[in-house]
Structure 1
Amino acid sequence: MNFSHPVSTCPVDLARTIAALANSGGGECRIEGEHGPGRELLGAALREIVPPPTIIDATGVHPPQERSVLKTGIVCPPQVTVSEDERGIIVTVAPGESLCTVGGTVVVIEDGAIQTLGIRDVIRRAGSGG
């Protein structure tokens, strides 16, 4: 799945896209525009995602920011690879083994659109019948 965001996009919107990609099998999004502002937007967006993704870019691997949820050792965050081209920043998202949330809400991609899942939906999809 591919999505595109202009640099002026709200960080939470980009965070929802990245989390939805991670929760839905991975994919790619593009931050269109200048690299500097695009990287600032990406950094702000990644800070909104729990668990915070591992970032891989030209400078190496950046582990997730330490948050209490990661101290348990059972949360496996998604991996985000960042690259640049003449049109902007390309963010490739590999799925994690744990659901990502933004503002306490799980988001997924269904029918080409980002959808919000409630706790009952999450439980039902996990096979518990909810």
Structure 2
Amino acid sequence: MKIVPLVGLLILLTALVTSCKTYKNLEKVKPKIESTSMAEQLQKLKPGDRIKVYEKSGSVRNLTYIHTESGILRAIDTKKSKEQISIRVDDIAQVQVRKTDVGSTAISTGLAITIGALAFVFGLLIYLGSQSS
């Protein structure tokens, strides 16, 4: 029965650590550029980046970026076919890239440390209480 709280703590810590990544608009990704041209924004991407592409047609795709050339974005569809696809840059309304969110990471880490310390103290008190009986 003593293992149940530890398993719960492990699950909580895992959930907190995996919440450190979020999708950000390319305009917010450094280096920030003044231009709003989609082609210039796509230059910030690196091969292997996980991106979310919002097309002007209304569809949304989760992709792994390969490269952009001649006005065509090439990527791998990570949700459906796992095949390479091509999207014209002119057909893209918005692109978000998955990056580490420093704020979420700091909050999650602080919360995890606090919960871990409280669980340790609580467990120690229970253990000491059971020894004195």
Q: TM > 0.5 between the two?
A: no
More strand by percentage: 1
Q: Which has the higher helix share?
A: 2
Q: TM-score range by the shorter chain?
A: under 0.3
Kindly name which structure, 1 or 2, has the bigger radius of gyration based on alpha carbons: 2
Taking structure 2 as the reference length, the TM-score comes to 0.27
- Give the TM-score of the pair, scaled to structure 1: 0.28
